[in-house]
Amino acid sequence: MTTKPIDLDSAFLSLREVNAALQAATSGAFRVLNPGGEHALACGLDAAIEVTIDGHAGYYCGGMNKHASITVSGNAGTGCAENIMSGAVRVRGDVSQSLAATGHGGLVVVEGSASARAGISMKGVDIVVGGDVGHMSAFMAQAGHLVVLGDAGTDLGDSIYEAEIFVRGAVASLGADCEEKPLDEEHKAVLDLLLQRAGFNVDPAAFRRYGSARRLYHFSVDHMGEY
The CATH number assigned to the domain holding 158 equals: 2.160.20.60
Whether residue 136 is contained in a domain is answered as: yes
Q: Which range of residues forms the domain containing residue 42?
A: 6-213
Whether residue 220 is contained in a domain is answered as: no
Whether residue 133 is contained in a domain is answered as: yes
The total domain count for the chain is 1
Give the tens place of pLDDT for each residue, 188-218.
999 999 999 999 999 999 999 999 999 876 6
Phi then psi dihedrals of residue 125, to 5 deg: -70, 150
Whether residue 1 is contained in a domain is answered as: no
Whether the per-residue pLDDT at 140 is higher than 90: the answer is: yes
Q: pLDDT category, 62, cuts 50, 70, 90?
A: very high
Whether residue 226 is contained in a domain is answered as: no
Q: pLDDT category, 41, cuts 50, 70, 90?
A: very high
Mean pLDDT score, 170-187: 97
Give the tens place of pLDDT for each residue, 146-161.
999 999 999 999 999 9
